[in-house]
Structure 1
């Protein structure tokens, strides 16, 4: 596959986009875990959901 004189730009662009996508996926996973931990902490402290049901009643 010949990319011509712009090969370095094309490869760099694809690598950059891949790095950004991976960084966003990692950030979303970390944020999800942080939010779940925060929710568990709130429920352990006695906070209830707006619907008035606790997590145990929903399941």
Structure 2
């Protein structure tokens, strides 16, 4: 393992903070993606219903 000397706390803290931020960003991206997919499915379902109502008069 690499010897970090007096900078060990700063280096390890920086790595930990970077990893934590990456994990949070990935989690938020997945959550937002799922939300947008649900919203799109709702809009598409409403469009199908509206089209069917238009065709049936």
TM-score range, shorter chain: 0.7 to 0.9
Which ranges in structure 1 are unaligned for 5 or more consecutive residues? 48-59
- Runs (4 or more) in structure 1 with deviation over 2 Å come to none
Higher relative contact order (CA 8 A, sep 6+): 1
Larger CA Rg, structure 1 vs 2:
2
Equivalent pairs, count: 47
Q: Cα RMSD (Å) of the superposition? A: 1.1
Which sections of structure 2, spanning at least 5 residues, go unmatched? 49-57
TM-score (norm 2): 0.78
Question: How far apart in 1 are the matches of 2:5 and 2:42?
Answer: 56
Q: Name the one with the larger helix percent.
A: 2
